[in-house]
Copies of this chain bind each other. A is one copy, B any other.
Amino acid sequence: MEERLKKLKKATKKLQILNQNQRADLILNIASAIEQNMAKIIKANLIDLQNAKDLSPALQDRLKLDEARIKSLADGIRDIAMLKDPIGKIHDGWSAKSGLKIEKISVPLGVIAMIYESRPNVTAEVAALAIKSANGCALKGGKEAINSNLALANIIKDSLGEYGGCIEYFDISRDEVKNLIKMDRYLDLVVPRGGEGLVKFVSSNASVPVLKHDKGVCHIYVHQDANIQKALNICINAKCSRPGVCNAAESILVDEMIADEFLPLLKSELDKFNVIIHGCDKSKQIIKCQSADELSYYNEYLDFELNLKIVSGFDEALSHIDEYSSGHSEAIISDNYSVCEMFLSLVDSACVYANASTRFSDGGEFGFGAEVGISTCKMHARGPVGVDELTTYKYIIRGDGQTR
């Protein structure tokens, strides 16, 4: 493995000498190769699907690659090629007292390891994002998608010609992954993307820096001055439009003052999706629902299930979010200007919304193009991780013989 990583690092150096047009061309090659090899990919995917008969229909669907999905994958990759180049951007520049001219410019991180589960698209998307940001990439997907992933990885490597060495797929065991994520001599970053178990496994075993994509326990706070119709739309959208994703809401907090009016309306909308409600004691006096306990509020249900809590006002909402949020995305619904601004300022999460659904926390919706994931770390990158977040910076200093 060390030998492979050494080669990967060397191939990455070669990639980094290319200019932005050359890197964009490599990415366009990937997109074309994926379309041209559609039959091969579908064949490999069918084997994975056959082996996945015991998985839930939702997971089987995530695994599936058909003609339409492969076409859309290729289009997505072309979009990545067209993104503004993230390398060589001058973040800042100034003359120091010594007369030195200092520039802070964006540079690639180096080699990124991506440990992921399920959707085989990730293999191609991450390869393209890595090349766009002039990074090398070690990929390790879930075993349920191994045939699809290997087919994609081989097609990608072939399409890159002499630069194929900068993408490496590691078909390795969990124990070997444990070794991989300790190789800080060759790897600059590891991104775990998948269930809570995977994320914990990677963060507790890595000595390479980890960009965590942790769970999303997202809150919607319906303030007493909320526009009731907007609040209803947003709550339903945030919970029910796609409950299995990290930016879906898991808890709704409602101001006491409007609970009598709002809760029955909310319940009748949630009932249309058969949402299981875990309510606080006060909620249970207004609508029929299950009981929430202290631990419910930490849950990421990822399903048609949510927590409901009546709060006395802004302060209680804020301290509830402080305690139970995973720092992903939270929203307030209110027409009160200063309350909204206070919420936006005081809530310490990656994405904080006023009067919009938490479902917008997404690289595509933010305009970043495809994303590597949503970071719940505070270090390095927070929120959607696109190509800009896969860079670091260095200082370039031009002098004329200065000594100190």
A interface residues with partner B (beta carbon < 8 Å): 13, 17, 94, 96-98, 100, 102, 107, 109-110, 188-189, 203-204, 207, 209, 211, 227, 230, 233-234, 236-238, 241, 322, 340, 344, 346, 348-357, 359-361, 365-367, 377-380, 382-383, 392-404
Contacts and interface: CB of A to CB of B under 8 A. Distances in A.
Count copies of this chain in the complex: 2
Contacts of A392: 378-379, 382
A238 to B, nearest CB: 8
A7 to B, nearest CB: 15
Given A365-B98, A404-B360, A353 B207 contact: no
A352 B94 contact: no
Given A354-B397, A382-B392, A397-B354, A403 B365 contact: no
Contact of A100 (B110, B348, B360, B394): B360
Given A234-B403, A367-B97, A396 B352 contact: yes
Contact of A356 (B17, B241, B401): B401
7 contacts: A100-B365, A234-B403, A340-B398, A350-B395, A352-B394, A352-B396, A356-B400
A350 B236 CA distance: 48
By DSSP majority rule, is chain A's interface helix, strand, loop, or mixed? mixed
Contacts of A209: 209, 377-379
A378 B96 contact: no
A357 B100 CA distance: 10
A190 B344 CA distance: 27
A355 B394 contact: no
B366 A102 contact: yes
A245 B236 CA distance: 59
Contacts of A241: 403-404
